[in-house]
Structure 1
Amino acid sequence: MAPLPARLILSLQLLTMLFGSGCSTRFRDAEDRETAPAQREFDFFKLSLLWPGTECRHTLHCCSANACCRSSSPTEFTIHGLWADYNDGTWPACCEGSQFNESEISTLLGDLTKYWPTYQCGSSSTCHRSKGPFWAHEVFKLQLNVFLIDVIQYTT
């Protein structure tokens, strides 16, 4: 497997160091059941990867956003998500803060499209039952967008 570009790796590492608190806590066995807001630091990050061969086998609809439908579809593991977790089985989700702004990550879009692609068409669910771009799902739910401008400035 080819190594991830240094800039993307550095971005992921910086996100792990800069992750904010102020999120509600969710239980893994009840996807939409939230507890009272928790102001605590997470215990670890979980990096989830996808094998595109398996993911693309289930593709029913093609669109330009779906990595399976591109002429250069992924042939190596890709990032599915980078999530903060607590040792007790809960995790921070739907953090409050500014809305996702794709222009803030414009310098990373090439790397994100290659190494952290979406395998779907249409909008992804974000917090509070709203819809948005794929990366808004990952970024807004975890409140990583607050730090993206600093990460981009640091890595460029």
Structure 2
Amino acid sequence: MHSGIVVALSLINQLDNDLGDIMQLKTFKTVWGHTGTLEEAATMVNEAGFAGFEAPAKHDDPSHLSTLEATLDKHGLEWIQEICTAGSYVPRRRASVSEHLSDLESQIILGKSLKPKFINVMGGCDAWPIQTSIDFFKAAMEIADKYDVLCSFETHRG
């Protein structure tokens, strides 16, 4: 993993029987830009003291999801699901709002069984008119609610 890659931070509320509700800071490493295997990434994440990593569930390799699950379990790591809609980090410019929303929903469904701590969504397109963006984010949050998942949104694409 590259040292210049951003670390995703997650504040997770955890119940402690003796102390009541406490806030605990957990750090997660993104695997964005990592060219090795998930096993190699997990080893580096553990050695660096991270609680887990951020990675997509969607992948060209059909065995990716089962490999991701096995790797997380083997290393005792938590997971933040990364979702990019309508392509990759730069979306297909002509993709419609409904295409972005359909992609979001299918990826939430894909990753839900692995129980992500939350989902980091790079969705929509910054070139859309403001009302289109508002409509997209409203519908995206409704999809997240439908599947009872917590989503954060990055809004710096295309």
What range describes the TM-score normalised by the shorter chain of this pair?
Answer: under 0.3
Q: Name the structure where strand makes up a greater proportion of residues.
A: 2
Between structure 1 and structure 2, the one with the greater Rg is 2
